[in-house]
């Protein structure tokens, strides 16, 4: 009788009851998983927040640096322009001074000393190289009031090969600034080539090359332009070859003639 009563108290499992139990189980498992994931992700979230803050700080720093660099770049460009203008003005001033000046080298005074010794004074030499440098004669710069006077003296010095003062040979030449002298020196190579070809040329002030070929005169402002012109001109010049008769090997032959040069275009 007791067994029958207990069996009667147990209710049969229905579908609704099964769904309810499964829903409870799902909620319990979901809660446990959520708590575990939150616990595990908490340090990662803290690290990500630190990284985010660091990136934001770096972004602000980089933005500030870019702004400062842009301002500095603009300032450098402005300074470069000002320096270029000042260099141009300085070069112009030097050229104006150079046009009125000549350099006299190896000039000796009556007492046998350098003329500059009087106003430069005695300077102590601390090394052998310094002593050798001090012993060399420095050019004496002579400034003229008029450009025509300076040109007359320079022309006279060029025509007079042996110029001396009180028995001592001296040299007189134009006084150029270092920048101008370097620019004029760039024409040395093409000047040598033109000289070998017998082509008339002249170096004009401040640094221009004048070339005269077949009665026509051209002026070049750069050595590169002058060299290109020379290469084109030299490629068009005829080549001379020597031609002799075949019987020249026999000294007694009546057909032997003097070798002749014939211009053959390349």
Q: Which uninterrupted H or E stretch holds 200?
A: strand 200-204
Domains identified in the chain, total number:
3
Q: Is 239 among the domain residues?
A: yes
Q: Is 2 among the domain residues?
A: no
Confidence at residue 7, expressed as pLDDT on a 0 to 100 scale? 56
Note the pTM of the prediction, 2 decimals.
0.47
Confidence at residue 169, expressed as pLDDT on a 0 to 100 scale? 85
Q: Which residue has the higher pLDDT, 106 or 162?
A: 162
Q: Is 23 among the domain residues?
A: no
The residue with tokens 């490629």 is: 235
User: What's the pLDDT tens digit per position in 25-44?
Assistant: 888 889 888 888 888 888 89
Q: 103 and 170: one domain?
A: yes
User: What's the pLDDT tens digit per position in 207-257?
Assistant: 899 999 888 899 999 999 999 988 888 766 654 444 444 444 444 444 444
Q: 104 and 161: one domain?
A: yes
Return the closest-CA partner of residue 146 out of 114, 101, 106. 101
Q: pLDDT band at 116, cuts 50/70/90? A: low
Confidence at residue 76, expressed as pLDDT on a 0 to 100 scale? 95
What percent of the chain clears pLDDT 90, i.e. is strictly above it? 24
Angle at CA 155, nearest 5°, toward 151 and 161? 150
Q: What is the largest CA-CA distance in the chain?
A: 167
Q: Which uninterrupted H or E stretch holds 208?
A: strand 208-213
Q: Is 162 among the domain residues?
A: yes
Domain coverage including residue 111: 99-118+135-175
Q: 85 and 33: one domain?
A: yes
Write the CATH number for 205. 3.30.250.20
Q: 187 and 201: one domain?
A: yes
Q: 194 and 234: one domain?
A: yes
Q: Which residue has the higher pLDDT, 158 or 11?
A: 158
Mean pLDDT check: name the lowest of 43-57, 88-102, 152-166, 214-228.
88-102
Confidence at residue 117, expressed as pLDDT on a 0 to 100 scale? 52
Q: Burial-class residue 229 by CB neighbours within 10 Å (0-12, 13-18, 19+).
A: middle
């Amino acid at each position: 009788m007791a067994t029958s009563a207990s069996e009667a108290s147990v209710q049969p499992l229905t579908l609704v009851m099964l769904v309810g139990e499964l829903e409870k189980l799902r909620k319990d498992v979901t809660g446990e998983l959520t708590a575990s994931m939150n616990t595990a992700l908490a340090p990662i979230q803290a690290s990500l927040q630190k990284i985010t803050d660091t990136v934001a700080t770096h972004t602000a720093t980089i933005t500030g640096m870019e702004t400062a660099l842009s301002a500095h770049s603009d300032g450098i460009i402005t300074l470069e322009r000002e320096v270029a203008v000042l260099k141009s003005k300085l070069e112009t001033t030097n050229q104006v001074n150079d046009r009125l000046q000549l350099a006299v080298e190896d000039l000796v005074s009556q007492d046998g000393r350098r003329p500059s010794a009087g106003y430069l004074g005695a300077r102590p030499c601390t090394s052998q190289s310094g002593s050798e440098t001090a012993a060399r004669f420095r050019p004496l710069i002579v400034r003229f009031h008029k450009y025509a006077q300076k040109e007359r003296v320079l022309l006279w010095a060029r025509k007079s090969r042996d110029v001396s003062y009180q028995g001592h040979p001296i040299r007189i030449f134009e006084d150029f600034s270092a920048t101008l002298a370097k620019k004029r020196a760039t024409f040395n190579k093409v000047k040598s080539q033109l000289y070998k070809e017998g082509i008339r040329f002249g170096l004009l002030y401040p640094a221009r090359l004048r070339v005269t070929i077949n009665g026509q005169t051209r002026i070049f402002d750069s050595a590169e332009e002058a060299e290109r012109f020379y290469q084109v001109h030299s490629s068009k010049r005829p080549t001379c070859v020597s031609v002799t008769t075949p019987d020249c090997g026999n000294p007694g032959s009546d057909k032997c003639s003097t070798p002749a040069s014939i211009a053959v275009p390349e």
